[in-house]
Amino acid sequence: MSEKTVIEQSRMPVTVGGMEKDLARLGVREGDVVIVHSSLSKLGWVCGGSQAVIQALLRTIGSEGTLVMPAHSGNWSDPAEWQNPPVPSEWVDIIYDEMPAFDPDATPTWGIGQIAETFRAFPGTMRSAHPQVSFCANGKLAADIVSNHPLTPQFGMDSPLGKLYELNARVLLVGVGYDSCTSFHLAEATLPGMPAKKMGAAIMEDGQRVWKRFADFAYDADDFPILGAHYELERDVRRGEIGHADCALFDMRSAVDYAGSWLRKHRF
């Protein structure tokens, strides 16, 4: 969406102070541990862009809180599986040999929005070391949340998602739907009978750049919108606006537990 279109669709400029008030009305509190999935364009015209959004979030949760966002880099994956777009088959081995190793400090996010990419480089932000599905955190518990992210299962209980579950973090969807709710993948990782798939990524191992092959679950978000709609009908989800964006706030543990039961009933 062009900036001209965003301006035309905005009632008023969205500001840090205004977003703080909106967050408080929605129920975000000082000291919260919150994982955020977001769309900058859905907020309307933001004075200060993604930087302003992050500042509003950090100010709202305060020094005792912790802000978390996905920092996924799905393009650090097996080129033989790329479909959007695919690459010529003769390129695949070259990519295996030449793709730079994932670097938490240098590798950009991919496909998860401008707010998450700005957060990755924000002062004080730390990033987990998974080459494809890392998470970033900023605040009191950041180091504990992002440390020791296992290669597989990437969304399991030892991952940042598992740590957030144990902390009973809150999930905040800002202008996005349940298809963006990464927390539901934690429920998938606990399901018996989840299919597996082979994966690969360029990483540093023993001081050397290698193409590392590994197996993990075949995570699938296709039914997350339906799952989320059912969850919202049966559990406590707070709805409201931040700027001009429709938002949802809910407890992660409740959502993951519900998702586990729902997926066992409706997917398997």
DSSP code per residue over 8-58: HT-SS-B-HHHHHHHHHHHT--TT-EEEEEE-TGGG-SBTTHHHHHHHHHH
Any idea which of 85-89, 101-105, 160-164, 219-223 has the lowest mean pLDDT?
Answer: 85-89
Percentage, residues of the chain above pLDDT 70: 96
pLDDT (tens digit, 9 = 90+) per residue, 109-167?
Answer: 999 999 999 999 999 999 999 999 999 999 999 999 999 999 999 999 999 999 999 99
Q: Helices marked H in 70-196 — which ranges?
A: 92-98, 114-120, 142-146, 160-166, 183-189
Token digits for 139? 């605040």
Task: Give start and end residues of each alpha helix (H) in the chain.
Answer: 3-8, 16-26, 49-61, 92-98, 114-120, 142-146, 160-166, 183-189, 224-234, 252-266
List, in order, residues 6 or more apart from 33 with CB less than 8 Å away.
61, 65, 66, 68, 139, 141, 145, 164, 167, 168, 169, 170
pLDDT value, residue 6: 63
Domain coverage including residue 258 = 3-266
For residue 243, name the pLDDT band (cuts at 50, 70, 90): very high
End-to-end Cα, the chain, rounded Å: 38
Going by the DSSP 8-state scheme, the letter that residue 108 receives in this structure is P
Q: What is the pLDDT of residue 83?
A: 83
Contact 134, 142 (CB under 8 A): no
Q: Which of 207, 175, 144 is nearest to 40 (CA)?
A: 175
pLDDT at 132: 96
Rounded to whole angstroms, what are the CA distances from 248 to 70, 128, 176? 17, 25, 9
- Closest of 257, 194, 255 to residue 228, by C-alpha: 255
Among 140, 114, 4, 142, which Cα is nearest to 51's?
Answer: 114
**By percentage, how much of the chain surpasses pLDDT 90?**
88
For residues 53-65, give the mean pLDDT. 98
Give yes or no for residue 50 having a pLDDT over 80. yes
How far apart, in whole angstroms, are the C-alpha atoms of residue 256 and residue 231?
10
State the CB neighbour count (10 A cutoff) for residue 169. 23
Q: Per-residue confidence at 27, pLDDT binned at 50, 70, 90?
A: very high
Of residues 267 and 149, more confidently modeled: 149
Count of domains observed in the chain: 1
Closest to 78 in 3D by CA, of 89, 70, 69, 68: 89
Does residue 9 carry a pLDDT above 90?
no
Q: Are 67 and 135 in contact (CB under 8 A)?
A: no
Averaged over 216-227, what is the pLDDT?
Answer: 96
Are 249 and 172 within 8 A, CB to CB? Answer: yes
How far is residue 14's CA from residue 53's CA, in Å, rounded to a whole number? 9
Question: Which of these ranges, 84-88, 90-94, 121-125, 146-150, has the smallest mean pLDDT?
Answer: 84-88
**Residue 8: is its pLDDT beyond 60?**
no
Rounded average pLDDT over 35-53: 96
Mean pLDDT of 93-108: 95
pLDDT, average across residues 34-52: 96
CB of 104 within 8 A of CB of 129?
A: yes
Q: What is the mean pLDDT of residues 10-14?
A: 79
The confidence band for 268, taking pLDDT boundaries of 50, 70 and 90, is confident
CA distance 104 to 127: 6
pLDDT given for residue 185 in this prediction: 97
pLDDT at 229 over 60: yes
Say how many C-beta atoms besides its own lie within 10 A of residue 209's C-beta.
15
Work out the number of other CB atoms within 10 angstroms of the CB of residue 58. Answer: 18
Over the chain, what is the mean pLDDT?
Answer: 94
